[in-house]
Structure 1
Amino acid sequence: MVTGESIHTPVQAGGDASASRTVLFDFDGVLFQGDAFELFIRHRYGSPIHKVLAAMTMPWWLLCGVFSRRLAERALTHIALCGLGAQGYQAAVEAFADQLVRRPRQFYRDGLIALRRHLADGDDVIIVTGCERTLVTRLLSQLGLPKLSIVASQLRPGLFGMRVHVHNVGRRKVQNLAAKGVQSWRVAYTDSFQDLPMLKQAGEAVLVNGTPKLCKRVEKALGCAVTRVAWY
């Protein structure tokens, strides 16, 4: 277990020169403590009108929940975004990000230190996250990291407001990286079993604040040991 600010020496991947310089970071649970987009949606439900809309549409999203929790969550997300066009959404999410970044202990200091060390070493750092792109971009910019490559979830304008267009989770992360010409990487940092496809293609898989149960589960799936770090 690596704790605090200690940073391991990355394992070099096979002969791919580009892979030897590419490092992937998940965002939520790795750099950010919690789920940033979920916090934004909860913030939207602070408005009485969205509480009323949620109550009025309860039969719909409860029915979605019968089939899939993810469908119910998406329905509630769309309700929270009702009435927001592209420009309105950008203004709302950036204002929220500007407040969020000022909260104490909202980010993992050790994670940001590790990221900045990779940048100082000349590594090609890519943020690969299920968080929505505009939100994560604003948060990183406010942290002094405005030029990072980001592969993230995306929204699109709909009839009644912004809608989920791409949910960048699980295997889709690898697919979206491949679409950008990124096929392999030296190190991948995550806190989630859902990122197993991303970890499988890494020269070194790093679990951030992983429980013993999670670490054993990931190691069994990968067939090899993972690096474990405890970040605060």
Structure 2
Amino acid sequence: MPADTGGGANASRTVLFDFDGVLFQGDSFAMFMRHRYQYSWLRKLLVLLTLPWWLPCMLVSRWWGLRTLVHVALCGIGPVRYQQAVEAFADQLVRRPRQFCRDGVQALRRHLANGDEVIVVTGCEQLLATRLLSGLGLHDLTVIGSQLKPGWSGMRVQLHNVGWRKVQSVTAVGVQKWHVAYGDSMHDLAMLKQAGEAVLVNGTPKLCKRVEKTLGRAVTRVAWY
């Protein structure tokens, strides 16, 4: 059954939404990275040249390998050019049919209409997630995502906002309690654990059982498309 998004006693709650897999169909930042490589033979060459480094990293830690690929994709790009590239990509992506989860976006809008404080907490890079949501007319949302920083070779990963870091990043902006949290994977466990109501989006029976076993309580299960 869907989470209760009605008014009355549930008004003025704090509600957390994951982005990829909950509001967006797919991995938005990975799509941006593929776009960066697709249209640049130079970046493809740099990936080949750095293969002896990032491939062993991938075997040891998938995150370190992917981090290297992100740095190569953003090589030579400063903050201004990065913002321009993100905005151009997001503005194209937002017009793509069925790219967003219709049911998820509708649920978010209902929470806003009911006066709830809605925060999107995501592993997607913050600027990209914010621009995509703005393209749907959702301009006033608080979005907390992964962070990049400028470096000598271009934009680099500063913070990957996944797992326990989601809780840390939310509490860092002064939010100590949330009533509902929507997630779609084990990466959202920390965020779901501290919610009064944990909602798992499009979870397989196996995933639902794993999440409930870890949380020690039942979750609300929704099928969104």
Structure 1 counterpart of 2:162: 169
1:190-205 aligned at under 5 Å gives the runs 190-205=183-198
Question: Partners of 1:57 and 1:77 in 2: how far apart?
Answer: 12
Structure 2 counterpart of 1:132: 125
Query: Could you report, residue by residue, the CA deviation over 1:57-98 in whole angstroms, capped at 9, with x for unpaired residues?
Result: 110111212321110011011101111100000000110000
Report how far residue 172 of structure 1 moved.
0.5
Structure 2 counterpart of 1:14: none
Question: Partners of 1:79 and 1:60 in 2: how far apart?
Answer: 12
Question: Partners of 2:88 and 2:144 in 1: how far apart?
Answer: 22
Out of 75, 85, 101, the residue aligned to residue 108 of structure 1 is 101
CA change 1:60–1:19 in 2 (3 A) is: farther
Q: What one-letter code is carried by the residue in structure 2 that aligns with 1:22?
A: T
Out of 60, 63, 69, the residue aligned to residue 70 of structure 1 is 63
Query: Could you report, residue by residue, the CA deviation over 1:96-132 in whole angstroms, capped at 9, with x for unpaired residues?
Result: 0001001110000000000000000000000000000
Q: What one-letter code is carried by the residue in structure 1 that aligns with 2:207?
A: L
Structure 2 counterpart of 1:206: 199
Structure 1 stretches of 4+ with a deviation exceeding 4 A read 17-20
Structure 2 counterpart of 1:40: 32
Question: Partners of 1:75 and 1:170 in 2: how far apart?
Answer: 20
Q: Is the 8 A contact 2:193 2:215 kept in 1?
A: yes
Structure 1 counterpart of 2:3: 8
Structure 2 counterpart of 1:189: 182
Query: Could you report, residue by residue, the CA deviation over 1:157-176 in whole angstroms, capped at 9, with x for unpaired residues?
Result: 01111000111000001011
Q: What one-letter code is carried by the residue in structure 1 that aligns with 2:34?
A: R
CA change 1:77–1:44 in 2 (3 A) is: same
Question: Partners of 1:156 and 1:228 in 2: how far apart?
Answer: 37
Q: Is the 8 A contact 2:11 2:115 kept in 1?
A: no
Report how far residue 8 of structure 1 moved.
2.9
Give the secondary structure class of the aligned counterpart of 1:83.
coil
Q: 5+ unaligned residues in a row in structure 1: which ranges?
A: 12-16
Q: Is the 8 A contact 2:57 2:65 kept in 1?
A: yes
- Is 1:121 aligned to residue 152 of structure 2? no
Counting aligned pairs with the same residue, the percent is 68
Structure 2 counterpart of 1:222: 215
Out of 13, 24, 35, the residue aligned to residue 21 of structure 1 is 13
Query: Could you report, residue by residue, the CA deviation over 1:139-195 in whole angstroms, capped at 9, with x for unpaired residues?
Result: 011100011011110100011110001110000010111111111101000101111
Q: What one-letter code is carried by the residue in structure 2 that aligns with 1:8?
A: A
Question: Partners of 2:80 and 2:139 in 1: how far apart?
Answer: 20
Out of 149, 154, 165, the residue aligned to residue 147 of structure 2 is 154
Structure 2 counterpart of 1:88: 81
Q: Is the 8 A contact 1:19 1:184 kept in 2?
A: no
Question: Partners of 1:178 and 1:19 in 2: how far apart?
Answer: 21
Query: Could you report, residue by residue, the CA deviation over 1:27-82 in whole angstroms, capped at 9, with x for unpaired residues?
Result: 00000000000000000111111101101111011121232111001101110111
Q: Is the 8 A contact 2:22 2:201 kept in 1?
A: yes
Report how far residue 21 of structure 1 moved.
1.1
